[in-house]
Amino acid sequence: MQGQEYDYEKLKEVGRVSWEAAQYGKSLVKPGASVLDACEKIEAFIRGKGMQLAFPANISANERAAHYTATTSDASVFGDRDVVKVDVGARQGDVLGDCAVTVDLSGDNAKMVEAAGEALEAGLAGVRAGARLNDIGREIARVAEKRGFKPIRNLGGHAVEYGELHASIFIPNYDNGDTTRLEEGQVIALEPFLTTGDGFVVDSDVVQIFQLNGPVAARSPEARKLAEIVEREHKTYPFAIRWLAKEFASEFGIRKGLNELSGLGVLQSFPALVERGHGIVAQAEKEAIVEKDSCAVVTK
């Protein structure tokens, strides 16, 4: 928002569609249902509202905390004991939505899912102009720990600026000592992740989501074609390999292009994140506008 008047009306529309998409996504998570089908239906739902995607539909199960989206020919289905995070965002131009819900298919992890929701609400209750980031984090951790779970320390909320989802500030899920204060009018997302594991995530070698950070002069035909498509259709927003499949004869060509762009230093990758101690993970996320004495949730 720096120096630019935020279009809050547009943000509220994007927030509403993001939230509806998350609820719709929740309804698609059933034992035996296809993960690929769920991702594609959620994305079609958002496009069907006349909006674009802020990022590919993230559907991450169990110890996988975030950043998984279906592969091009993903044959996986939801298991009847899965704990599934559905993290989605609509986009209108450069105005971005971001929210997440967790589905517990067995019911055995209901306490953790509930606790993630409570931690989120406790965090939001402390959001106002002048609130310190570490105070919000401390409150999230307090609720998580009271319920017997660990907050994941190296994941957290963030500011949402025009054209940039993970902008400027990191809002911790514990007291990390950062006394930076929130400002009136700022748009933020809070996202507690709770776990039965160590409370940290690490990169896995599964990488389906990428982002091109600027224009590039690529050499190979694959990289040139890839850069051209991404610059035109996805700009500097995250995209999935799956989104490029129709334009390439094989995934080999896509990977070859991605490797070259990566070597040129313009490609960011988002590996699927897994809990370090293989703990199960639950997440809850909402996006809100910071107001003088409270906040206004937009993903509802």
CB 223 → Mn ion: shortest distance, Å? 29
Active site includes 87? yes
Confirm whether 98 is a catalytic residue: yes
Residues in 281-300 that interact with Mn ion by CB under 5 A: 285
279 contacts 266 by C-beta, under 8 angstroms: no
Q: Which of 13, 43, 74, 98 binds Mn ion (CB under 5 A)?
A: 98
The closest residue (CB) to Mn ion is 87
- Each residue 65-94 as x (binds Mn ion by CB under 5 A) or -, in order, gives ----------------------x-------
Name 46's Cβ contacts closer than 8 Å, sequence gap at least 6. Answer: 17, 18, 21, 52, 53, 88, 90
Query: Cβ contacts of residue 30 below 8 Å, gap of 6+?
Result: 78, 105
* CB of residue 197 to Mn ion, shortest distance in Å: 20
Selected binder of Mn ion within 189, 241, 254, 274 (CB under 5 A): 189
Closest by CA to 288, choosing from 277, 279, 300, 278, is: 300
Q: Which of 7, 94, 145, 166 is catalytic?
A: 166
> What is d(CA 168, CA 150) in angstroms, rounded to the nearest whole number?
25
Which residue carries 């507690």 as its tokens?
A: 192
Instruction: Name the burial class of residue 107, with classes exposed (0-12), middle (13-18) and buried (19+) by CB atoms within 10 angstroms of its CB.
Output: exposed
State how far the Cα of 254 lies from the Cα of 101, in Å rounded to an integer: 31
The question of whether 67 is a catalytic residue gets the answer no
Specify whether 158 is catalytic. yes
When the beta carbons of 157 and 199 are compared against Mn ion, the nearer one is 157
- Residues in the interface with Mn ion (CB under 5 A) total 6
Q: Shortest approach of Mn ion to residue 262 CB, angstroms?
A: 24
Residues contributing to the site for Mn ion (CB under 5 A): 87, 98, 100, 189, 191, 285
